[in-house]
Structure 1
Amino acid sequence: MSRWLKNVRLETGESRHSDGTVKTETELFNIEISEDGVIQTLVPSLEHTETDGMDMGGRLALPPFKEMHNHLDKTYLSLGFRACRPVKNLSERLKLEAAELETLAETVEQRASAMIELHLKNGVNHIRTHVNIDPFIKLKNLEGVKRALESYKEYLTYEIVAFPQHGLLLHEEMPDLLREALQSGAGILGGLDPAGIDGNVEKSLEMTMEIAKEYGVDVDMHFHDRGHIGYYTMDRWLDMVSAEDYQGKTTFSHAFGLSQLQPGVQQNFARKLKQYDVSIMSTIPISVNHKVIPIDILKENGVAVGLGCDGFYDSWSPFVSGDIMEKVNHFCDYTGKSTERVLRNSLGLITGGITPLDDKGNQQWPKPGDEASFVFTDVSCSAEAVARLPEDRQLMHRGILFNKD
């Protein structure tokens, strides 16, 4: 049996203020939702006043958010506060993490559940999580994260990446552990800095491609290496993608090697990424010492770009709120985006590219046949949501409201 949502505010188009600047127009709608969570009908509320259903009180509906880079197994959430221990380099950080892995593995389901609930409260209905697969705990984290995600499956969808945090080549059992993870619930193969961690770009990339093709899975590569080596590693992977006919199955996470290239080189590489259907995931780094990767250039060339909070409140950082919308806010702030249309369009970075209005201000979401998934919040428009980060949000996933309590 279908049911109705009443008085849902939707963005419908644009008008102009007296000074010529854009103003987003909205109207109230009643939305009919099928039993299986699909939108059947949208009717202006003024034309459909007799409808029985759940009254949303004029709250704005936004597309639900996608957290595209997360580490559910690493967080300290639900444990007492812990600041980071100082280290001199990445190798020391990895050693410290390895030392606590077995202890933390005992609480992985509890901690992952705390992070999932935080994301749901913030409006996220899809999580891509990287899960440590390593010789210290083997598949323990994977087992706990799977249980946690399954507990919330009525509110979200998810992807699990088998992630070799401590290197693919540094421990001889790692290739087979990753294979075991791909047979045990992970659906994507991860990778990590073939130069900076593994110390052998060619061998690391070749082993990654071998395992990926063996299981026919997508690949999500963490690329932190900067400068020429970071750029070379990404470019070399694209050569392998071409040679192995593996287009459309790669995400570059972070891709910091793109940040210091000349704009012309960035443009050319963006076109190459588009050619091989490679997507980019960014965490919008907030360090003043590092530049944001060229997201605008990537998007202009048709490259799919998503955002993620990465790890938060863990052995790597005591910071980050865990709010994926905050990442969009920071991106707009750092890159000088402050007008209504560009703020609104930037929302697509956390919605899988979906925005209520297109680039010209025409309504394109939601429509009959779409999944009945929304984030309801008390703001006037999506541009205000990006700029002001409303705290009061309510997620609906396929017609089911997430109960914050």
Structure 2
Amino acid sequence: MPDLLVKNVRPWGGPATDLLITDGAVSRTGTPAPGTPVLDGGGRLALPSFSDVHVHLDSTRLGLPFRPHSGAPGVWPMVMNDRKNWRNDPESAEERATRTLGLMIERGVTRVRSYAQIDVDCGLERFHAVQAAAQAHRDRCDVQIIAFPQAGLLREAGTIPLMRQALDEGADWVGGIDPCTLDRDPKGHLDALFSLAEEFQVPVDVHLHEPGHLGVFSTDLILERVRALGMHGQLTMSHSYDLGGVNEATTRRLVEEFAELDVSMATVAPAQQRGLPLVDLVQAGVRVGLGEDGQRDFWSPYGNADMLDRTWQLAFTHQFRADELIEHCVAIATRGGASIMSAQVPRVSSVADRPGLADGDAGDLVLVSGDTVTAAVMDRLPDRTVVHAGRVVADGLQLT
């Protein structure tokens, strides 16, 4: 890995200093070897690079002409609308996924957890598209792929063999979705999901859109499986929009159980905050990460490949105003997500934790303009330089 001396930067908005990246890691006390390349930070903020841990690269339409939203409410109608339209775009899924991943890197992302839809309509086509995008940017970004049954595991015959094939071809995670409302067979769904996880020795990610008491019911069944199979640290709950909306006792119990079983949480900063409380999760020791979800696809017109923008949204939807809490959102969007992707990365430990730039931390940085970290989140300026493993991979919103 190349060495790099990053001069005149302000880590997390602190005093200006130099950062040495050697052997892919930050060295705050090391001495650069003669001839080490130098990057002039120009007094900008230095932050750990972003980790998008919930994105659907296979469905993106960024860069294509804008189209009217045609989906109907509900997961199944949205699935059918996507199925009707996704092949009609002028570019292949591979081309769209590769471009969008590039846009994400240009804006500061160097770690991605992407879903790849597996169903009887697309087979492995969309999975292969995400694989191709990851390969195209392999020197700029670390990508993990989730084999994701968007239409359910059981609702259409033939889905499970396709999931098994994707896992056999290298999917890093196995996904599940709405055991009650989509597959309408929670036991059957979880039997199949955890059987695949056990067979291929991969962690589990569950998309949960189910409301209120039903969502809690499904979550309790999922947690039972984790406990019984000893899969501590091997489950991420995604979305889970309504788990904090039942009552205080249930919210407190779920936070405690997530911490006990080391269940992580991936949020996309939805408009209505009825999920488990962000600060309570972190203070309990739960790993929390952020993602952008779909990127202007057949599900939604939202998404712009900018995790700094999504960090603003996380702060805004939680009604955070204090600098400490807005910076906390940055910690979640950067190292919080990294801790979901790798158990070797320490989790964000408190609201005051500002991780990612100490000796031995990954040499992945984003340099951004701003008087303070909060100012950078509020302004979201384009003057950014992105470093991955000691190499500049993007500058001024252009790949290098």
Q: TM-score, normalised by structure 1?
A: 0.87
Cα distance in structure 2, aligned partners of 1:133 and 1:362: 38
Counterpart Cα distance in 2 of 1:387 and 1:88: 32
The partner residue of 1:387 within 351, 367, 378 is: 378
Letter in 1 for 2:171: A
Q: Distance in 2 between matches of 1:87 and 1:364?
A: 41
Change (3 A) 1:136 1:245: same
* Counterpart contact for 2:294–2:302, Cα < 8 Å: no
Distance 1:362 1:71, change over 3 A: closer
1:130-174, CA deviations, whole angstroms, 9 ceiling, x for partnerless residues?
001111121111112111111111111011000001110012211
**What residue number does 1:178 align with?**
163
SS at match of 2:43: coil
The farther-off stretch of 61-70 and 143-152 is 143-152
Matching residue of 1:28? 16
Q: How far, CA to CA, are the matches of 1:105 and 1:233 in structure 2?
A: 39
Bigger-Rg structure (1/2): 1
**What amino acid does structure 2 have at the position aligned with 1:149?**
A
SS in 2 for 1:258: coil
- CA drift of 1:87 comes to 2.0
> How far 1:123 sits from its partner (Å)?
0.7
Counterpart Cα distance in 2 of 1:110 and 1:79: 11
Specify the SS of the correspondent of 1:351. helix
1:371 aligned to 2:374?
no
Change over 3 Å in CA distance of 1:362–1:166 after alignment to 2: closer
Equivalent residue, structure 1, for 2:127: 142
- Are the equivalent residues in 1 in contact too, given 2:289–2:332 (CA < 8 A)? yes
- Structure 2 residue 298 is matched with structure 1 residue 297: no
Q: Map 1:106-121 onto structure 2 (within 5 A).
A: 107-121=92-106
Residues 86 and 248 (structure 1 numbering): CA distance in 2 closer, same or farther, change over 3 Å?
Answer: closer
Which string of whole-angstrom CA distances, capped at 9 and with x for unpartnered residues, describes residues 265-313 of structure 1? Answer: 2111110111111101111112x5x635422222222111111110021
Cα shift readout 1:209-235 (whole Å, capped 9, x = no counterpart): 111111111000000001111110011
Per-residue deviation at 1:321? 2.5
Q: Percent identity?
A: 28
The residue number in structure 2 matching 1:21 is none
Asked whether the 8 Å contact 2:242–2:274 carries over to 1, the reply is: no
The answer for the alignment partner of 1:4 in structure 2 is 5
Partner of 2:391: 400
Per the alignment, residue 17 of structure 1 pairs with none
CA deviations over 1:317-372 (Å, ceiling 9, x no partner):
112333222232223223332122222222121112389x9869687652332222
Give the SS at the match of 1:73. helix
- The answer on whether the counterparts of 2:270 and 2:317 sit within 8 Å (CA) in structure 1 is no
Counterparts in 2 of 1:281 and 1:61: CA distance versus 1, 3 Å: same
Question: Would you say the 8 A contact 1:146–1:185 is kept in 2?
Answer: no
Aligned-residue Cα RMSD (Å) equals 2.7
> Residues 361 and 257 of structure 1: is their aligned pair in 2 closer, same or farther, counting only changes over 3 Å?
closer
Code of the aligned partner of 2:10: R
The 8 Å contact of residues 113 and 146 in structure 2, kept in 1 or not, is answered as yes
Q: Which runs of 5+ in 2 are unaligned?
A: 339-345
Task: Report if aligned partners of 1:376, 1:393 keep a CA contact under 8 Å in 2.
Answer: yes
1:312 aligns with 2:295: yes
Aligned to 2:75: 90
Determine if the alignment matches structure 1 residue 257 to structure 2 residue 219: no
Aligned equivalents of 1:99 and 1:336: distance in 2?
A: 38
Number of residues paired by the alignment?
A: 384
Supply the distance in 2 between the matched residues of 1:267 and 1:130 (Cα, whole angstroms).
30
**Which residue identity is paired with 2:358?**
K
2:24 pairs with one of 34, 37, 40 = 37
1:350, 1:68 → 2: CA distance? 9
- Classify the secondary structure of the residue corresponding to 2:57: coil
Aligned mates of 1:363, 1:238 — CA distance in 2? 30
* Counterparts of 1:335 and 1:109, CA distance in 2: 35
Change (3 A) 1:249 1:104: farther
Counterpart in the other structure of 1:18: none
Instruction: Find the aligned partners of 1:209 and 1:248 in 2 and give their Cα distance.
Output: 14
1:49-85 CA deviation, whole Å, 9 max, x = no partner? xx98332211110111100100001011232221211
- 1:333 counterpart = 2:320: no
**Cα drift, residue 102 of structure 1:** 4.3
Q: Which residue in the other structure is 2:331 paired with?
A: 348
